[in-house]
Amino acid sequence: MTSLRATTDVLRSTLARAQEERGQRPDLVDGPDGPECEWAAYERARMHETVNAIRAERLLPAAPVEDIIRAEQLAVGHSDYSRKFAFYCAELGEK
């Protein structure tokens, strides 16, 4: 069984790769709470895909995007946002 730490590391890497592409997504798009930066929606989508890939490997049902949004909202405003977002998403891969 994969540890929570290892799952967090996988998700942190996913997020870091997505963050490297921020410059390629400068537009505003519709988000869960109204207009948002396109790069934010992209990063959330990559995390959602990765969480569900992890869940599928563990024979768990897919997590709804609302779970990813909640994980992201818990991390927003923290100086270690990326680490917290990855950790909260990793917890979703566990249950």
- What residue segments make up the domains of the chain, in order of their start? 4-94
Dihedral sign from CA coordinates of 45, 64, 9, 77: positive
For the chain, what percent of residues have pLDDT higher than 90? 93
- pLDDT tens digits, residue range 60-81? 999 999 999 999 999 999 999 9
According to DSSP, the residues that pair with 29 across neighbouring strands are: 36
- pLDDT tens digits, residue range 33-53? 899 999 999 999 999 999 999
